[in-house]
Structure 1
């Protein structure tokens, strides 16, 4: 049972969604919880269409987004059904929790229930506001208001013909507001982002010390102290007087105090620090004076918090980080700095040293896309490329002073030239040739994120709703949830580190993990969890030790045979039947009952029903799966004409949105 799918894996996702809905509805009805198939479908779709796509990850932001934005915007149903969404979401999150599917990096069940409870009043208000609907949902609700039964085939098409003929009244003001919102803000869809690799960070105390050593942090504190409570006079142009500017430059150690200038505006490092301090609300201007903000005192006493805030606001300082030229008032990189800087840092995340020239070419390619420079004169084109490269270098110097990156020189890793000949290489031929020449040099300027920079980028990724795993964050996760995350989001080497860290905690051992696998109600997830244990703890030969486990045996045999470590002929007739049950139950989860019925008919012909009967009598430990196999597969095989397999109600128009492309 996977809970993460690429956007292109449409069939796999739909099968998993049907399985989740089917199982959750059955479980909820058995335990007396309120449940609704349409709203469950909407909750799963909302997470699939999110930036990170983790179906089982729910935190405060995703819970509130689903209730306050997604349902009002996308889901069409009668009001009495929509009113159930908070309680149905609570049911779904309980099901994820009891089955071990929950992503432990999200809210706990208790936290989620509190968040849902706190959003109920806002949710009712959101449903009351028709301007929060999408265009399709507006028309679908208009149809419902006219008594149109949207579940009847062709009903909406007939409604649309009546609408085109002018026979349907609707609220033009509401529609105008919806269209205005769409024009100004777009829809509510999020672009899927690539998942990031797991990273490791040093102890918190070490990061705190590194922040206090940051040259930029020390300079910002010094600058605020120099301004003082009485402030400093400014010229009519709003700059420091030259004498004051040179004085504070000497205190800050920028080296600009030795320059001969006619205006403080000619000191770029000082101007950057002044702009940074204003953006951080350390200083402000009033009545011709530069003043220190009194409320900033706690931030100035906390270098780590000051570092975090300085890193956070840096993308907004592009016009003072870049340096204008005489022939161009605004550098090309300044106009897109707030997008380029995060993209560059994202591309460095989780990697070691990267050649700066490699980043120069990708940044220049992005600039051409932003500004459509393809038709410009060749000489001017080259000047702009050099300008962008110069300002990128300036950006890295600023990040280095902050302590977010480290700049070194040395031979480039061959990795950065190995893909230059690939057919899918996005760089143009001239850029490839420049890179070949530059990367062949023995003394290449290289850049990497420091631990502080890595943490800063990760915190921004998390704030954007992206998946950015941290080694050690699962150290106390429930065993089933731990294995589920490792199976889907961690490469084997990182999974091994995380698992060993989990096992080092008191009271957490291999047997606890194995019991979690035994308790898992999904055969495909059992297989994935066993694979994680086998791959990360190879010295224990776990699969061979579990060959005779009464619960895990069939899943173990399947993996050992697939790996060539066990011969099919070594199984008894009954064991072969159990392994057949294991495989067919996996197909039921992965493809759904209709696909399994078709497969069994092709394999068994007229004997298909008898074959399934034998599987049902095998004694396989998956009670839930066998019940579904009996009800959804065996019965249709026995009476195909009288048991149509419509498992999930068809959603009315407006219940789902289009998928988005993903980006870095």
Structure 2
């Protein structure tokens, strides 16, 4: 499965005078729109240089995933037919069941009544299951005693029937690969089905090249769609994972920050129509829940024209939206797509990967990770821990003056907020700590406590620099957020005096923060004084 590349957006503080030193930029510096947005740059060269970042997901336990895999009707039928073939069944040279056994297979699967006529579609469904059993090597071909071809259950069948999670999930993933490959086998619009022997060699090569190009484009589109679903599911609230097909198509077509124009609406419709049968195929293997486009939408009206699919940005009620397709990635689908990403060498983390060690490992891991959901990692880490002891451990891990320490302190504040009032005694214990005291006071005030003594001026200024440094590290100096914070600086009508104090603050990021203020502050005089102060801070080192 191909990963999608994203380009970091232009950012004044990332490249201008207010930029942090190169060695201080972390993977976590990217903002979420760059990490998890649905679109990359149109510049292919830039896209090749950009990182591929996949959000962390939660997976069900393997036992539950295996049970879900065995409950997929197509898989279930393949397993049943493999056992039904014991001790052996005669097959043709291609490994297909002989005509005499095809109806019996349909009856065995419960697709047809035990007696009476068997419908052709039931036989075809049984043959699909048999074909999958063969592809999965649940049945193996051999030569019988009479010299004819036979098929019999393989040794791989027993652990699958026993529900061994590893064996079942490996089987299901192989089945998903098979179905995904078949889903993108789309005939070119101008293919010549009867061109075979009558076509000259040049035309035959042309048709083959056209066919391969269409398959490649379909596979790329499906990969893109599945990764968008994977990302959307990672961020969705429980119960909100279902996405209208039109929205999915729009995410694949419309560049970030733009509204779809008439041409784009046509492209969105084309993408919806192209994805519809492919998603339906993947739903049959349990990777998706999919409600396809209502075929009546394509019925011709009195003028001989089909209905147009709607603008996906236009409001529709639930019933109307459902007619245009709804798709949801199943837990099994999350597992499958993650495995595909891992097989291609992409980092596809799980929620909780960073929450297995102590508090220092937690905060440092989140700070350095490129693709992480901090709140979820913190919640996993806190689960089952005694709140007061956890708060003390977090505060201790937040100390330090290394290049990532400001971000650790910001994450510690986030974790303390998750803990709430049980953390209060630990927070009060660090009120006089030069690195933690300012944040501790701010946390207590935020919790509604009114008995908090104001900190000394030096602690106020140090905490101010530390807070801005954390924002620079966390968002690569996101201009809008930083302008909002900078606008709230307590600069008096004498900015030279304020910055005269600030540049003397003994903090590793003092100069970086002053440079960001000098670049982004809307007041020219304030910005000028900040730049002068930044120069002094640099000269002091």
Give the TM-score normalised by structure 1. 0.48
User: In the alignment, which of 143, 149, 156 is matched to residue 289 of structure 1?
Assistant: 149
Indicate the residue corresponding to 2:490 in structure 1. none
Pairing 1:309–2:171 present: yes
Structure 1 or 2: more helix by fraction: 1
Query: Deviation string for 1:550-600 (max 9, x for gaps)?
Result: 4411444577899999999933344445446646876998999xxxxxxxx
User: In the alignment, which of 71, 75, 90 is matched to residue 232 of structure 1?
Assistant: 90
1:458, CA displacement in angstroms?
3.4
Query: Deviation string for 1:182-202 (max 9, x for gaps)?
Result: xxxx99957644543543x44
* Cα distance change of structure 1 residues 604 and 564 upon mapping to structure 2, 3 Å threshold: farther
* Cα distance change of structure 1 residues 299 and 567 upon mapping to structure 2, 3 Å threshold: same
Query: Deviation string for 1:411-469 (max 9, x for gaps)?
Result: xxxxxxxxxxxxxxxxx984327986674349767554444333333333444455555
Runs (5+) with no aligned partner, structure 1? 22-43, 55-185, 410-427, 593-601, 617-621, 646-664
User: In the alignment, which of 363, 379, 402 is matched to residue 497 of structure 1?
Assistant: 379
**Between Structure 1 and Structure 2, how many residues are aligned?**
425
Indicate the residue corresponding to 2:279 in structure 1. 392
RMSD: 6.0
* Cα distance change of structure 1 residues 560 and 223 upon mapping to structure 2, 3 Å threshold: same
Give the 5 Å matches for 1:584-623. Answer: 615-616=505-506
Pairing 1:476–2:356 present: yes
1:515, CA displacement in angstroms?
1.1
Indicate the residue corresponding to 1:527 in structure 2. 409
Q: Is the 8 A contact 2:175 2:285 kept in 1?
A: no
Q: Is the 8 A contact 2:90 2:150 kept in 1?
A: yes
Give the 5 Å matches for 1:142-541. Answer: 189=48, 192-193=51-52, 195-196=54-55, 198-199=57-58, 201-228=59-86, 230-234=88-92, 239-255=96-112, 259-261=118-120, 267-283=123-139, 289=149, 291-292=151-152, 294=154, 296-297=156-157, 300=160, 303=163, 304=165, 305-318=167-180, 320=182, 338-346=219-227, 347=229, 349-350=233-234, 351=236, 352=239, 358-359=244-245, 362=248, 389-390=276-277, 392-396=279-283, 398-400=284-286, 404-406=287-289, 430-432=309-311, 439-441=318-320, 447-466=327-346, 468-485=348-365, 494-495=376-377, 497-501=379-383, 503=385, 509-519=390-400, 521=402, 522-540=404-422
1:253, CA displacement in angstroms?
3.3
Q: Is the 8 A contact 1:547 1:557 kept in 2?
A: yes
Indicate the residue corresponding to 2:8 in structure 1. 7
Pairing 1:552–2:418 present: no
1:240, CA displacement in angstroms?
2.7
Q: Is the 8 A contact 1:220 1:273 kept in 2?
A: yes
> Counterparts of 1:628 and 1:250 in 2: how far apart (Å)?
74
Q: Is the 8 A contact 1:231 1:291 kept in 2?
A: yes
SS in 2 for 1:314: helix
> Counterparts of 1:564 and 1:248 in 2: how far apart (Å)?
70
Q: Is the 8 A contact 1:475 1:501 kept in 2?
A: no
> Counterparts of 1:189 and 1:280 in 2: how far apart (Å)?
35
SS in 2 for 1:440: helix
> Counterparts of 1:637 and 1:203 in 2: how far apart (Å)?
56
> Counterparts of 2:137 and 2:102 in 1: how far apart (Å)?
20
Give the 5 Å matches for 1:15-34. Answer: 18-20=22-24
> Counterparts of 2:472 and 2:253 in 1: how far apart (Å)?
49
> Counterparts of 1:382 and 1:587 in 2: how far apart (Å)?
41
Q: Is the 8 A contact 2:56 2:351 kept in 1?
A: no
SS in 2 for 1:240: coil
> Counterparts of 2:173 and 2:289 in 1: how far apart (Å)?
15
Q: Is the 8 A contact 2:375 2:414 kept in 1?
A: no
Q: Is the 8 A contact 1:461 1:468 kept in 2?
A: yes
* Cα distance change of structure 1 residues 285 and 626 upon mapping to structure 2, 3 Å threshold: same
1:516, CA displacement in angstroms?
0.8
> Counterparts of 1:581 and 1:388 in 2: how far apart (Å)?
50
1:392, CA displacement in angstroms?
3.3
SS in 2 for 1:291: strand
> Counterparts of 1:242 and 1:197 in 2: how far apart (Å)?
49
> Counterparts of 1:361 and 1:636 in 2: how far apart (Å)?
49
Give the TM-score normalised by structure 2. 0.56
* Cα distance change of structure 1 residues 53 and 564 upon mapping to structure 2, 3 Å threshold: same
> Counterparts of 1:586 and 1:537 in 2: how far apart (Å)?
21
> Counterparts of 1:434 and 1:555 in 2: how far apart (Å)?
43
